[in-house]
Chain A
Amino acid sequence: MKRPVSLALAVLVVFALLISACGQQAATPAAAPSAAAAPSAAAAPSAAAVPTTGEKPQSGGTLSFVVNAEPPSFDAHRETSFALLHPAAPHYSTLYRFDPGDLTKIVPDVAAAMPEISADKLTWTIKLRSDVKFHDGTPMTSEDVLATYNKIIFPPSGVVSSRQGAYAVVDRMEAPVKDSIVFRLKYPSASFQAGLASPWNWVYSAAKLKTDIKWYEKNVMGTGPFSYVNYVKGASWEGKKNPDYFIKGQPYLDGYKALFITDATAGVNAIRGKQAQIEFRGFTPQQRDDLSRALPNDLAIQEAPWICVNYIVPNTKKKPFDDPRVRRALTLAIDRYALGAALSKITIVRDVGGLMRPGGPFAMADADLEKIAGFSKDGKASKDKAKALLAEAGVTNLTFEFLNRNISTPYEPVAVGIIDQWKQAGITATHKVKETTAYLADLSAGNFDVGLDFNCDFLDEPDLQLAKFQSASKGGKGLNRGGYDDAKLDTMIDAQSRETDPAKRKVLVGAIERYAMDEMAYQTPAPWWFRIIPHNNKVRGWRVGSNHYTNQDLVSVWLAK
């Protein structure tokens, strides 16, 4: 009778050992830190890893890449998810685009040159290329561009245009001749040029839109470097080289295949097993390290600060968060530098910044930033100030729920880090994680105490990044989760938008940041996201940029043999 017991225990031990053995196997390479495989220090995109210059691109080959979500419809004017841009952007062109060699520069795509702007800055005339053809062989003319922009800016009723509001400055458009289009603006705008390079504004065929304005929701037909082959829902999207593409000799690839893999680990494994060469959105630091250990000779790593950030948003409609002192205490309690340094080891956030991306053209100087509540390098002193402020506001034992989205990268670690910072200042926050759809419903209904909101844009552009800060009942409707109305802030945001001198504009933006983050402490950023792209080093001609929306038409990408 004793035997079976020992037998049971023996089996149990073997079983436990088996599990740990599996882990051990994985651990062995982990223990050996290889200098070559740890390029995490490289902050800027390292040119060595992406030899775009000096090397002659080779033609041929099929690029396989991972997309970790699925597109809803095929119409980019309507959708807002990168999951449509990654597989389908190669089929289309835009008026202007971001230079694949220097992603801060806007260059013509189907436009023939940069716009001619009238002296009063209200009339923009854009010449178009005459050699652009749709995949069905018809030539592209100003009619097509006009129809496209009409659909985006003045959609007929029943047609959804997600970014219509961003073009409120446009009064009307004309296509006087076949090869040029004219935009007439209501007032001078600092961001209109960038708006014309939006990765969402694919040029559609006027003829197709005429037959059915919703034709592009279910069909694909553009002027881009690759034509559409097929799409298997839940599995893959394929494109092949457009031989009539207007830049001769490009694209270099024969075709591409986007693989839809929603599970993060499965996505990494696809690259590790060489079934895919790249994923264009971003991986976590440990996924990067795992890949570089597994593929020491086949991996290149590109990294860049990302125009994505999580905001800590107190609900100003709820007590005690209607009191600016309480909101300031919340942001003061967070030692962002310590948080950023720690989180950068485990997830995709890193740099501390204000409302504009750190390292970007509008980022506040460090010295100025450190004067803002919650951005001082002396975290201890800030926490003491936070406690004093709470006492002054008559709030003791501040306890609330912190609403978050059930996504592990980076929402979960960011929230856990912030909650711990608050805990150290005597503030108790309960982590309330909800599934994305329910989380959004709570945010928009104001059904939360303090929430962790998020924002991602395709460009360093105050108009985009400050949109969330406008009054909740006016311009910030559906975006401003704090629920406040502030006419002063609206006026400030409007003024910077009309200022076309970059230096003066930066000063205006700085004043907005001080007002919104410090004085009123409406919404304050966690450390900004940091984009990490470990990819097969055969992939060349693609550079990481500050966002995962632009530079996805694959026109300059090639595969080394």
Chain B
Amino acid sequence: MRRALRGVVDFVKRRPLGGAGAVLIVWMVLAAALAEVITTHDPTSNSFADLLKPPSLEFPFGTDQFGRDVFTRILYGSRTALIVGFGASLTGSTLGYFFGVVGAYVGGWVDGAIQRLMDVLISFPLIVIAIAVVAALGPGTLNVVVAITIPIIPRVARVVRSSALTVVSMPYVEATRSIGTRSARIMFRHVAPNVFAPYLIMLTAFLGQAILLEASLSFLGLGVAEPTAAWGLMLRGAGMQFLERAPWLAIAPGVAISAAVFGFNLFGDSLRDALDPRLRSA
């Protein structure tokens, strides 16, 4: 525990930008976890008496076009953002990691097939995937996660594969192989852990991008649906329509999205620097 704490302190000392990012992330997680404690308003109940009220003591960020407390919806919205961010980037990166490692280690036609599949996915326009998934499954939060996961997979797989190739050709892997250790074991015990760094870097990089993508999908009417509290939806729906009459409707989710993504990106960028300054990946 103490060692972990020291690790954190060290990271913040050496990577102040990453530290700032981590603060933003922790803040967001706290908001998501404690939403019920922090606010007593209901995020989805309309109150026609309180339409479009400017910020006040009762409604710190004002109310929206249905009289719902914007502050409350921002808090609950951080849950949606975390689900989308972590859901998509964890699933996508992990699948990509898996395909990358297997491809590099097994080689041969399996690698070829995986690579072609990844090439197909990566050259396929994201928007078509998104619309297809959302149109076929409906715009629930989980379906949005699926839509965003798919394009992440090939991007991670490529990077992980090229790192894994170097590991596979290293003498100790070849040595273990010659002793006769079973393939799957070498793969998971020796290859996989050695390409964990690029996996982690891609994972953090896509955390923020997933949240942004959700906002873009919302803009196209393909994101999370009302009355669920979601930042992208708040910014697109009310935010854009009432930009001039009730600017607080756009400021709160706009700042929330930007700060969260900013936090994830700062953290990811520093993590990349810390883990591998030589990593060449886009």
Contacts and interface: CB of A to CB of B under 8 A. Distances in A.
Interface of A: 1, 4-5, 7-9, 12, 15-16, 19-20, 23-24, 26-27, 29-30, 264-265, 284, 286-287, 289-290, 293, 338, 341-342, 345-346, 406-408, 412-413, 415-417, 419-420, 423, 431-435, 437-438
A408 B241 contact: yes
Contacts of B222: 406, 435
19 contacts: A1-B16, A4-B17, A12-B262, A15-B258, A19-B251, A23-B247, A26-B247, A286-B242, A289-B245, A293-B244, A341-B48, A342-B48, A342-B67, A406-B139, A413-B66, A417-B46, A434-B139, A435-B222, A438-B136
A438 to B, nearest CB: 4
Contacts of A26: 243-244, 247
A24 B250 CA distance: 11
Contact of B65 (A290, A407, A413): A413
Contacts of B12: 5
Interface residues of B, number: 45
A419 B66 CA distance: 12
B19 interface: yes
A348 to B, nearest CB: 11
B20 A417 contact: no
Contacts of B250: 23
B65 A24 contact: no
A492 to B, nearest CB: 36
Interface string B132-143: 001110110000
B45 interface: yes
Contacts of B260: none
Contacts, number: 121
Contacts of B262: 12, 15
Nearest to A4: B16
Nearest to A409: B241
B244 A431 contact: no
Contacts of A16: 255, 259
A126 B134 CA distance: 53
Interface in B140-167: none
Given A286-B245, A420-B44, 13 more contacts: A5-B19, A19-B258, A30-B244, A289-B245, A346-B51, A406-B225, A408-B237, A431-B225, A431-B227, A433-B138, A434-B138, A435-B135, A437-B135
Contacts of B65: 345-346, 413
Contacts of B225: 406, 431-433
A227 B262 CA distance: 54
B215 interface: no
B17 A8 contact: yes
Interface in B241-268: 241-248, 250-251, 254-255, 258-259, 262, 266
A412 B237 contact: yes
A287 B138 CA distance: 29
A75 to B, nearest CB: 28
Nearest to A23: B247
Could you tell me the dominant secondary structure of chain A's interface residues? helix
B131 interface: yes
B51 A406 contact: no
Contact of A27 (B67, B221, B228, B247): B247
A265 B241 CA distance: 8
Given A286-B245, A346-B65, A438 B135 contact: yes
B177 interface: no
B240 interface: yes
Contacts of A15: 258, 262
Nearest to B12: A5
A122 B146 CA distance: 61
A1 B13 contact: yes
A345 B20 CA distance: 42
A423 B68 CA distance: 15
Contact of A24 (B16, B228, B246, B247): B247
Nearest to A284: B241
B149 to A, nearest CB: 19
B247 A434 contact: no
A310 B52 CA distance: 24
Nearest to B24: A12
A27 B250 CA distance: 11
B20 A412 contact: no
B135 A408 contact: no
B263 to A, nearest CB: 9
A334 to B, nearest CB: 13
Contact of B138 (A289, A413, A432): A432
A267 to B, nearest CB: 12
Nearest to A31: B54
A270 to B, nearest CB: 16
B48 A9 contact: no
Nearest to B131: A435
Q: Which of B228, B241, B242, B254 has most A Cβ within 10 Å?
A: B241
